[in-house]
Amino acid sequence: MMVVNKVLIIALAFVFQLTSAPKIILFFGDSITAGYGLSMEEAYPAHVEKTLKEKGLDVKVVNAGLSGETSAGGLSRIDWVLRQQVDVFVLELGANDGLRGLPLSQTRSNLQSIIDKVKVKNPNVKIVLAGMMVPPNMGKEYTSEFRNIYPDLAKKNKATLIPFLLDGVAGDDKLNIADGIHPNVEGHKIVAGNVVRILEPLLK
């Protein structure tokens, strides 16, 4: 009987350890996620982690942002990034494709392939797509097609959509660094708020 009790205690301890492990949120993106021009602690993923913890949620954020990353570049490194367990995967890529005028059919295909790889490695993962936009000087048809990539992929993959990651920040000189493209410290705090509003319900 004592042996059985010891086994039961060990099993319960193991289950408790599994259920009490923090949820891993992996941010996979470009310079916006990497916090271009800022420290990693000032980038929006760090603010997201801080805010969620303040709300009593047990999470650990992994920032896998890389400045200059395109969707093709992301696809080439996703296998390496997925060596760890992921509970929530936030995909923020495509903006550099759009700024370079790359074929959007390829962008769409690359993002879908990234999602597919994430699902294979982590079948129970919750996927969040961060919607982006490109400047109107790219042409009406191109900008419209680009904008539609994210809701289309979210619907197809039953993923959660952040309609526009830079909502409230894009185009505001006071919230961006000198290049007018990348958020400054205050801008990243607003971006973090955009993300937290979407992530919080997924973590409860």
What are the residue numbers of the active site? 31, 179, 182
Closest CA relative to residue 18, chosen from 30, 10, 26: 10
Asked if residues 67 and 84 have their Cβ atoms less than 8 Å apart, the reply is: no
Name the nearest CA neighbour of 177 among 14, 32, 57.
32
**Closest Cα to residue 65, out of 51, 45, 50, 94?**
45
Q: Is 67 left (phi over 0), alpha (psi -120 to 50) or beta?
A: beta
Phi and psi (nearest 5°) for 70?
-105, 175
Residue 160 sits at φ, ψ, to 5 deg, of -90, 135
Question: Measured on CA atoms in the order 130, 118, 203, 61, is the torsion positive or negative?
Answer: negative
Nearest-angstrom CA–CA distance, 50 and 56: 10
